[in-house]
Amino acid sequence: NRKPKIVILGAGYGGMMTASRLQKANAYQDADITLVNKHNYHYQTTWLHEPAAGTLHHDRTRMKIDRVIDTNKIQFIKDSVTEIKKDEKKVILEKGELDYDYLVIGLGSEPETFGIPGVKEHAFSIRSVNSVRLIREHIEYMFANYNKQEEKHDDLLTFVVAGAGFTGIEFVGELSERIPELCEEYDIAREKVKLYSVEAAPTALPGFDEELVEYAMNLLESRGVEFKINTPIKEVQDGVVLLADGEEIKSQTIVWTTGVRGNSVIEKSGFEAMRGRVKVEKDLRAPGYDDVFIIGDCALIINEEINRPYPPTAQIAIQQAYTCANNLKALLAGKTDMEEFKPDIKGTVASLGGKEAIGKVGDRKLYGNSASAVKKIIDNRYLFLLGGMPLVLKKGKLNIF
Ligand code: FAD
Ligand code: NAD
């Protein structure tokens, strides 16, 4: 009488929280549970703009998985998923394979390039600890190199952030705070440095509250950020960004933040998907596959009030993990009645670097220091849900005001 096997792919917000909920519910007594992740650590994707700019050390955004998950109760495998053979109930890893009775896919997202030429080859992305460590090092290297040259190359000190969605704006916010420090450190005048935020839509943060967008743009402009709005990027070449209006910006640093698509494993495994995201059933299972749950950025759910997909967020991934864990527990107990997922969107708060942020929580608009404090409380709340007060004290943002 063997126990059913539950395999969880990805230890991001969705996967970690599902594993943690199953552990708390003692589900390992009724099932063999395995968590698979590329790295032996869990990182907080929502903090990555900070280590990318160098305003926070990357170790603050990550934690060893076995410090949070009891690996005597949930087996952990450090490996990369390459494909899911859903009809054979198998997962192919780089170094092996696993079979499952129930699968949870929480592999997160990848940068959306919209097929724009040169992006993959010449742009950086804010995606993982590895990718942001590279951005930080690269930016410093540009500063270090500038004074080395007899003839000054301005493209070394020109930074282009493609896309002024939340990721782009949060990164520009951090970088605009970091630049004066770098200028000081490398003896460079602030006016030498150019930081562009390039956005295709008629406004930064399209769809967000106009007053808050204006506040953010004014603040960032006061720190020297130059916005190019209504200006799609059409191509990236080595050392140059080509804009749709014909302008070219020479830059050695292009950070690509024009949105995300679901992990490529989804399409490779033959799931029907829109931009790599599977439109899941109300109980978070993949259509036609009752043994596969998909959560987080790989899942697509529709906001029925406006008949459009919810933007993929950590907020939703975490909430989905609760529903997913409850449904797995029900299945283990032999029940067929599944809980339906209903997102409870509390709001959106975006940091702008330093002690500045903007946000909308319910109908309330938040600016400046109070928004920044709320943002840190949100970050700490997640750590609390995952690992209680000890994790908050170890990794949390304690300097709230
Ligand atoms: P992730 O948390 O990204 O985790 C995916 C995991 O899968 C990672 O650990 C990865 O290493 C692993 N993985 C990937 N591929 C493989 C593979 N092939 N094999 C094995 N493991 C693999 N959302 C908010 O709600 N609020 C915010 O303030 C916010 N801020 C953000 C700021 C930034 C800079 C960014 C980039 C995003 C932000 N988001 C925010 C969005 C949020 O980060 C994502 O929606 C969320 O991380 C999705 O969770 P997930 O569990 O699906 O994936
Ligand atoms: P996004 O889709 O929200 O924004 C991408 C932006 O890039 C859009 O404004 C788009 O018009 C622009 N764009 C697209 N193509 C372009 C081009 N060729 N040239 C110039 N601009 C172009 O994506 P994101 O900012 O990467 O965020 C991904 C997800 O993570 C979203 O769901 C977002 O809500 C979430 N997120 C949330 C927060 C927060 O709540 N604080 C922070 C970061 C990300």
Spatial separation of the C-alpha atoms in residues 273 and 153, rounded to whole Å:
44
Structure ipTM over 0.95, yes or no: yes
Ligand 1 pocket check for 320: Cβ under 6 Å? no
CA 246 to chain centre: 31
| Domain 5-111+260-345 sits in CATH 3.50.50.100 | yes
C-alpha angle with apex 364: 359 to 369, nearest 5 degrees?
A: 45
Q: β-strand 253-256 against 158-162: which pairing, if any?
A: parallel
Helix (H, G, I), strand (E, B) or coil at 307: coil
pLDDT surpassing 90 at residue 122 = yes
C-alpha angle with apex 143: 141 to 147, nearest 5 degrees?
A: 115
Would you kindly state where each structural domain of the chain is located, as residue ranges? 5-111+260-345, 119-256
Ligand 1 pocket check for 107: Cβ under 6 Å? yes
pLDDT band at residue 182 using 50, 70 and 90 as cut-offs: very high
pLDDT tens-digit map of 328-358 = 999 999 999 999 999 999 999 999 999 999 9
pLDDT surpassing 80 at residue 254 = yes
The protein residue whose alpha carbon is closest to atom 34 in ligand 2 is 311
pLDDT surpassing 80 at residue 149 = no
How far, in Å, from the CA of 12 to the mean position of ligand 1?
6
Q: Tokens 């990182």 belong to which residue?
A: 43
C-alpha angle with apex 368: 365 to 373, nearest 5 degrees?
A: 90
Alpha helices in 79-233 (DSSP H): 119-122, 129-146, 166-186, 210-222
pLDDT tens-digit map of 71-103 = 999 999 999 999 999 999 999 999 999 999 999
Q: CA-CA-CA-CA torsion for 312, 314, 319, 323, nearest 10 degrees?
A: 70
Ligand 1 pocket check for 49: Cβ under 6 Å? yes
- Domain spanning 119-256, CATH architecture: 3-Layer(bba) Sandwich (3.50)
Spatial separation of the C-alpha atoms in residues 41 and 327, rounded to whole Å:
26
Note the pLDDT of residue 150: 78
Note the pLDDT of residue 147: 87
pLDDT surpassing 90 at residue 400 = no
How far, in Å, from the CA of 224 to the mean position of ligand 2?
21
